Amino acid sequence: MSKLIYLDNAATTKTAPEVVEAMLPYFTEYYGNPSSVYSFAAQNKEVITQQREIIANALGAKTEEIYFTAGGSESDNWALKATAEAYGNKGKHIITTKIEHHAILHSAEYLEKRGYEVTYLDVDEYGVVKLDDLKAAIRPDTILISVMFANNEIGTIQPIKEIGEIAHEHGILFHTDAVQAFGQVPINVDECHIDMLSASGHKLNGPKGIGFLYIRKGVKIRSFVHGGAQERKRRAGTENVPGIVGIGTAIERAVRTMQERTKKETEVRDYLIKRVLEEIPYTRLNGHPTKRLPNNANFSFQFIEGESLLIRLDMKGICGSSGSACTSGSLDPSHVLLAIGLPHEIAHGSLRLTLNEEITKEDIDYVVDSLKEIVAYIRQMSPLYEDFLKKQK
Ligand SMILES: *Cc1c(COP(=O)(O)O)cnc(C)c1O
């Protein structure tokens, strides 16, 4: 099978050729340490500032509010743990949701073991946070609200502006994990009252191992890595100059192509959703029908085991996911699918397909035709399906 149809862009994306090209000289030619005094190296400082500026502009932020990290997980850890520590004397209560990425959930659990209290908000059947629940969860000692911009599994986009307003009215810090949303939907940190925002290079056609945390000026946050004076003394370590150039170039590209790219992706994705729901019986779409990321489709097939579906798709050169990459391999159903109310057996039969701009309707035809065949094959071997058919008669 020579054909490869990559439909796992929520796990990671291809680094765009123009991004690789922009990065290369910073490995081979301009390899100096930006902290050195001679101009050969010091010019890299300027380059880093330029990238910060590109990113700040994309968010409506200020250049000095962008802090480079080693990716989305680090940004999430930093945002939660270091604000918890900095504001711990004001209160020890944090609000987040049940559908966050594990970088948030496990950081929250870490804090719980250290005397903080965390409220994990429920979501509705589409994966949307209920604003009344959020308001009800706020206490005098609440110091931080962290709600992801868009979910990595089901693609649901949250009412971030409304959440930001609620946080702002109560004088509570608001962090959002925008790793999936940034580059796919326009984001303005002021309009949404966002105080901190996490993003990652490799989710938007940039390199792996680089990300940033936006930190609004005035937010007290502890240093996450101690050492040198890099990143305004908040995150030590020699800068990943090629990575920084990579993420800056990727973000510039993502902003420039956003409108056209997401329009195309939405169209192809809707075609995928339509064909799957119409042609494969006992199937549901997970997530919100319209408030979802342009590239995300997530289905549950009754009487199917997600892993065997993935293996058979792989044999046809199709890359998909049964949940988030981090939990693949474990037998627990996805916490996100359980949070939207799916029973275990339905959650187990789930498939996430996330597109990129190169995927065409012809690719989707091949994928749906393959899916139909595989689903029918697996069901035909399922005793549960057999029982179900008998009862139907
Ligand atoms: C991928 C992802 C992360 C982690 O980002 P890394 O750069 O891989 O560490 C965090 N949050 C969400 C929503 C993600 O999709």
Report domain extents, the chain: 5-12+258-392, 17-254
Q: Is residue 302 within 8 Å of residue 349, measured between CB atoms?
A: yes
The residue whose C-alpha atom lies closest to atom 8 belonging to ligand 1 is: 72
| Ligand 1 within 6 A of CB of 71 | yes
- The Cα 340–Cα 286 span in angstroms is 8
Same fold, 5-12+258-392 and 17-254: no
- The Cα 156–Cα 150 span in angstroms is 5
| Ligand 1 within 6 A of CB of 200 | yes
The residue whose C-alpha atom lies closest to atom 5 belonging to ligand 1 is: 72
Ligand 1 atom at minimal distance to the Cα of residue 211: 7
Instruction: Check residue 270 and give its pLDDT.
Output: 98
Q: Is 192 a catalytic residue?
A: no
Angle in degrees, CA 321, 323, 324, rounded to 5: 95
Query: Is 0.95 surpassed by the pTM of this model?
Result: yes
Residues of the binding site: 72-73, 152, 180, 200-202, 238, 326
| Ligand 1 within 6 A of CB of 180 | yes
Residues of the chain with pLDDT under 50: 1, 324-327
Q: Which amino acid is at 139?
A: R
| Ligand 1 within 6 A of CB of 333 | no
* pLDDT (tens digit per residue) in 75-85: 999 999 999 99
- In CATH, the number for domain 17-254 is 3.40.640.10
Instruction: Check residue 325 and give its pLDDT.
Output: 45
Instruction: Check residue 144 and give its pLDDT.
Output: 98
SS3 for 199?
A: strand
CATH topology for the 5-12+258-392 domain: Aspartate Aminotransferase, domain 1 (3.90.1150)
Other beta carbons less than 10 A from residue 390's beta carbon: 8
The residue whose C-alpha atom lies closest to atom 10 belonging to ligand 1 is: 72
SS3 for 294?
A: coil
- The Cα 344–Cα 353 span in angstroms is 20
Instruction: Check residue 329 and give its pLDDT.
Output: 54
Q: How far is the CA of 219 from the centre of ligand 1 (A)?
A: 23
* pLDDT (tens digit per residue) in 135-144: 999 999 999 9
